Amino acid sequence: MSAAPLPTAELHLHLEGTLEPSTILEFAERNQVRLPYRDVDELAARYEFADLSSFLDLYYANMATLRTAQDFADMTDAYLTRAAAGGVVHAEVFVDPQAHTARGIALEEVLAGVGSALAAAPSVHGISTGLIPCVLRDHSASDAMAMLEGVLRSDVQVLGIGLDSAEVGHPPSKFTEVFDRAGAEGLHRVAHAGEEGPPSYVWEALDLLGAERIDHGVRSLEDDELVARLVRQRTPLTVCPLSNVRLRVIDDLARHPLPEMMRRGLVVTVNSDDPAYFGGYLDDNMTALHAACGIDDSGAEQLARNSIEASFLDDARKRVLLARIDAAVTS
């Protein structure tokens, strides 16, 4: 595979999942937050997950170190720095506001910090950006609506609304009203579905939430009618291969269904999800896919093109970025 990563859009990235162990300890020290680990090694030793919820326990616990707008800005800027080095030219990133407001951090503090780093990204990193606050699906619908109302009142511009956290037992149907309201306000709508949850959750995300992209969606392959629908509508799936292996959604990267998904005509993109927890950033996912699944130069090119087409960018910016892919593959 070519040495330099292709220009790519990252569409499935949780900002809080970019907190590296060293950053967690640094923020804990600067904010005087006590953690149950003494050093980076003790923390890193906990990065062994049985499933999504065992990861989420650590992911939420480590958020205790995020206190100020500056912390959120620094976290976001560190991600953008690393992403730019890995070929990312556009990033539509998730944040989990309820995980912060639930522990007493003001929504404005979160949005102002993240928003300032994202706004500076085009000039600082050459990356265009969009912010997608996510509903925590294991909290109530009224909590979700309160978060959405707060986001809509904020001066910080958001691109859309998402749905994440513990999937099984929390179907998309729980949040129909919240997503209706977001859609009426002109926000894009995306949802995690079909990661650990069944294909019926993907149907619900499409039919009840108006989801324009499905995050993960790997379990869609269990339902041929659903695959046909996703192919026909060209609904993108934001797949996260290293995440799937680390959360045991897929037992071995060599058996990841991504090549089959591409063969079946699904609009698949590759993303890093929570790169600090799952063993790598977007370019690391591509390198691993090449080694384990034989994704070659033409597969990598298709995935890069899909990522631009699956983004919420306008057509003019999409054309600019697709032309950069053309230039990269012919150079």
17 binds ligand HPA (CB under 6 A): yes
Nearer to Zn ion, 112 or 218 (CB): 218
Nearer to ligand HPA, 235 or 243 (CB): 243
Candidates 195, 196, 204, 212; catalytic one? 195
274 binds ligand HPA (CB under 6 A): yes
14 binds ligand HPA (CB under 6 A): yes
C-alpha to C-alpha distances, 24 to 54, 63, 115, 120, nearest whole angstrom: 18, 8, 20, 23
Pick what 92 binds: ligand HPA, Zn ion, none; C-beta below 5 to 8 Å, kind-dependent. Answer: none
195 binds ligand HPA (CB under 6 A): yes
Pick what 269 binds: ligand HPA, Zn ion, none; C-beta below 5 to 8 Å, kind-dependent. Answer: none
Q: How far is the CB of 184 from Zn ion (least distance, A)?
A: 25
Q: Identify which of 233, 187, 189 has the alpha carbon closest to the alpha carbon of residue 215.
A: 189
Residues in the chain: 331
**How far apart (Å, rounded) are the C-alpha atoms in residues 48 and 63?**
18
The dihedrals phi and psi of 29, each to the nearest 5 degrees, come to -70, -45
Burial of 308 (0-12, 13-18, 19+ CB in 10 A): buried
Task: Say whether 195 is catalytic.
Answer: yes
273 binds Zn ion (CB under 5 A): yes
- The stretch among 83-91, 104-112, 272-280, 305-313 that binds Zn ion (CB under 5 A) is 272-280
Burial of 180 (0-12, 13-18, 19+ CB in 10 A): middle
92 binds Zn ion (CB under 5 A): no
- The stretch among 81-89, 127-135, 196-204, 266-274 that binds Zn ion (CB under 5 A) is 266-274
Helix-helix angle 69-85:107-125, to 10 degrees: 30
Q: How far is the CB of 137 from ligand HPA (least distance, A)?
A: 8
Q: How far is the CB of 264 from ligand HPA (least distance, A)?
A: 23
Helix-helix angle 297-309:315-330, to 10 degrees: 170
Nearer to ligand HPA, 7 or 194 (CB): 194
Q: Which residue type does 278 have? A: F
**How far apart (Å, rounded) are the C-alpha atoms in residues 134 and 275?**
18
Q: How far is the CB of 17 from ligand HPA (least distance, A)?
A: 5
Are the beta carbons of 163 and 172 closer than 8 angstroms? Answer: yes
| DSSP per-residue codes, 284-323 | HHHHHHHHHH---HHHHHHHHHHHHHTS---HHHHHHHHH
List all residues 6 or more positions away from 114 whose beta carbon is below 8 Å from its beta carbon. Answer: 15, 72, 73, 75, 76, 93, 95, 131, 156
Which tokens hold the place of 68? 């100020």
Q: How far is the CB of 12 from Zn ion (least distance, A)?
A: 6
164 binds ligand HPA (CB under 6 A): yes
243 binds ligand HPA (CB under 6 A): yes
63 binds ligand HPA (CB under 6 A): no
Pick what 214 binds: ligand HPA, Zn ion, none; C-beta below 5 to 8 Å, kind-dependent. Answer: none
Nearer to ligand HPA, 139 or 192 (CB): 192
Residues binding ligand HPA (CB under 6 A) = 14, 17, 52, 59, 164-165, 192, 195, 243, 273-274
Task: Name the site residues for Zn ion (rule: CB under 5 A).
Answer: 273
Query: Which residues belong to the active site?
Result: 195
